[in-house]
Structure 1
Amino acid sequence: MQSTASSTVSTPKRTIRIVSRKSQLALIQTHWVRDELQRHFPELAFEVVTMDTQGDKVLDVSLSKIGDKGLFTQELEDSMLRGDSDFAVHSLKDLPTRLPQGLMLGCVTKREDPADALVMHEKNKDKTLATLPEGAVIGTSSLRRLAQLRHHYPHLTFKDIRGNLNTRLRKLDEGGYDGIILAVAGLQRMDMGDRIHEILPADISLHAVGQGALGIECRAGDEEILALLSVLSDAPTTARCLAERAFLRELEGGCQVPIGVNTVLEDDTLTLTGLVASLDGQRVIQNTVQGPAQTADDLGTQLAKQLRAEGAQVILDEITAESR
């Protein structure tokens, strides 16, 4: 009897496409997400595709003058809506609070330290932000940081700085600035935590909405992708960030508005602090609300309405009028 050998044909793995910006930090974050998902789902293949956004291309104009946070997300969102990719990894602080129809925030990952950091030029290593001499130049591209630091340190000079993290550090080291303000999380993710000279406490600089967390955006109702992303979701971070994003959404603020937040979650109690500041730092409207974590959205909305009633709306209207 003649035997026949049967050949085994392997089935190609289902490929999930992840879209990302091309910056080094964006790729570090995206590759972390890819590797974590690959570890959980070895039967799938995960492919990273990259593209430049408008915010990556326009580097000679301050963010507040060229638009809102969609500058860093629109091209990635278009890719998902076309079906060219399945989800996008963002620094959550770059993701607008109102997403295009057909897309949703599918996952918020565990947060790194959301604080701001001072990175000092070598010549000032024996100083702090408070002890820098009058006229010392501090670089930041954030109106939120600018307004708060002007409020606390009116003797310093502030200068816009654009570019990715490496570019900003190079500009500092070349002597264009006495110090620059960056996110602690970004420096840590790029293994540059040793460059942090001083971490700014919340009473000096409330951080950006979503800072330190990754937000993964996907097509609304894509149950397959949502199920995959659920393994990366962090419930405490999600509650904190949902409150922060509701606060920002209610105030309708973006890059062009100095809005800062801080959240603390203890047991099931969420404490949200928020502020709106004038561009010159002269007026700061700040308050705090507290409630169950399950009411995160409501807490954010409540705080925004409270600040509006206390004078924040006047500041917001002035900033809007100036930007036209």
Structure 2
Amino acid sequence: MQKTIRIGTRASLLALAQSNWIKGLIEARYPETTVELVKIVTKGDKILDVPLAKVGGKGLFVKEIEEALLANAVDIAVHSMKDVPAELPEGLHIGIITKRENPLDAFISNKCTTCRDLPPGATVGTSSLRRKSQLANIRPDLVIQDLRGNLDTRLRKLDEGQYDAIILAAAGLNRLSLSDRAKSFFTVEEMLPAVAQGAVGIELRTSDTELLAGLFFMDHQETSLAVRAERGFLHRLQGGCQVPIAGFARLVEGEIQMTGLVASVTGEQIVRLALQGEITDPEGLGVRLAEKLLSEGGKEILSEVYGHTME
């Protein structure tokens, strides 16, 4: 293993926690190797007063880190996989996907235990169109407002009384030892997670085959298969974190079971379907599920969201 490995990472508390976790795994395996964190500010970190859906573009939280990889300024990048676009720049790949944390969405409130306990007209904060649309479908009487900022910032805004409740990924809370803040978790039936939610991926240059071989001990096959199916689904739907798309796959008795969802922003229209298939072609399963969703109403919904006809 090389003597020094530079990890490109965002500077948020959660990103640093994930990168320090990876750093610890590498140093434990290779005591002679020094691992350094290189903090990189991304476009998504700079624009905090605009909902993600209105910022536009894909890769809001990874583009600058990928540029550092391509410029040889860092050796690997550690990402929350749900932030990674379905298409990667030429010369880069996600070589490793670690074991998935809790993939569910957490309900956080200082007043109620679940979203069903909230009084009519209560204010819920989330920046995710996926969460907004599914929550609006469950509770159309709630007022859903945008909530941006790092995880600690969002919790502070809740504690200041700006919201009656907020929705965050359970994985982020767990990684920052804040799991006690979750009052309950949405089931997969209530709120389907974002593609790759809870999974951490390591991106590196495709030419760095020796580095990949040395770090591959961190790859978790079951998570990798599920996330590859989900990303195949996302790629076919041309989706990013600004679109109300959800997808969740898991291995059950040697097969991949996947559920996918496309919703209108208001939550009035939701198309949700499931499919299962062999583990030999996870991306293909995701693509087939996407095609099925498009043919059963998803195409019209997404064409409206994207402002152009889906192919």
State if a TM-score over 0.5 links the two structures. yes
Secondary structure, in 3 states, of the residue corresponding to 2:68? helix
Give the stretch that moved more between structures: 257-266 or 227-236: 257-266
Q: Contact 1:68/1:255 (CA < 8 Å) preserved in 2?
A: no
Amino acid in structure 1 at the alignment position of 2:36 = E
2:101 corresponds to:
112
Provide the C-alpha distance between the structure 2 equivalents of 1:228 and 1:168, rounded to a whole number of angstroms: 37
Residues 263-282 of structure 1 mapped to structure 2, 5 A cutoff: 263-282=249-268
The one of 40, 53, 61 aligned to 1:51: 40
Q: Contact 1:37/1:228 (CA < 8 Å) preserved in 2?
A: no
Consecutive unaligned residues of structure 2, counting only runs of 5 or more, are: none
Provide the C-alpha distance between the structure 2 equivalents of 1:283 and 1:228, rounded to a whole number of angstroms: 47
Give the stretch that moved more between structures: 58-67 or 258-267: 258-267
Residues 28-107 of structure 1 mapped to structure 2, 5 A cutoff: 28-107=17-96
2:225 corresponds to:
239
The one of 149, 157, 168 aligned to 1:182: 168
Matched, 1:24 2:24: no
Amino acid in structure 2 at the alignment position of 1:280 = T
Q: TM-score scaled to structure 1, two decimals?
A: 0.93
Count of aligned positions = 307
Provide the C-alpha distance between the structure 2 equivalents of 1:15 and 1:214, rounded to a whole number of angstroms: 21
The one of 247, 252, 263 aligned to 1:261: 247
Provide the C-alpha distance between the structure 1 equivalents of 2:22 and 2:285, rounded to a whole number of angstroms: 30
Provide the C-alpha distance between the structure 2 equivalents of 1:150 and 1:203, rounded to a whole number of angstroms: 14
Q: CA deviation at 1:263?
A: 1.7
Q: CA deviation at 1:221?
A: 2.5
Provide the C-alpha distance between the structure 2 equivalents of 1:238 and 1:21, rounded to a whole number of angstroms: 23
Provide the C-alpha distance between the structure 1 equivalents of 2:132 and 2:164, rounded to a whole number of angstroms: 15
Amino acid in structure 1 at the alignment position of 2:90 = Q
Taking only aligned residues, the RMSD between alpha carbons, in angstroms, comes to: 1.1
Provide the C-alpha distance between the structure 2 equivalents of 1:276 and 1:290, rounded to a whole number of angstroms: 18
Amino acid in structure 2 at the alignment position of 1:85 = V
Provide the C-alpha distance between the structure 2 equivalents of 1:65 and 1:229, rounded to a whole number of angstroms: 37
Q: CA deviation at 1:264?
A: 2.2
Deviations 1:49-99 (Å, cap 9, x if unpaired)?
111111011100000011234110011011110011111000000011100
Q: Contact 2:86/2:239 (CA < 8 Å) preserved in 1?
A: no
Q: Contact 1:86/1:218 (CA < 8 Å) preserved in 2?
A: yes
Amino acid in structure 2 at the alignment position of 1:20 = T
Q: Contact 1:114/1:212 (CA < 8 Å) preserved in 2?
A: yes
Matched, 1:132 2:121: no
Consecutive unaligned residues of structure 1, counting only runs of 5 or more, are: 1-12
Q: Contact 2:196/2:248 (CA < 8 Å) preserved in 1?
A: no
Larger radius of gyration: 1
Deviations 1:117-145 (Å, cap 9, x if unpaired)?
0110x2x14x4211211100000000000
Counting aligned pairs with the same residue, the percent is 47
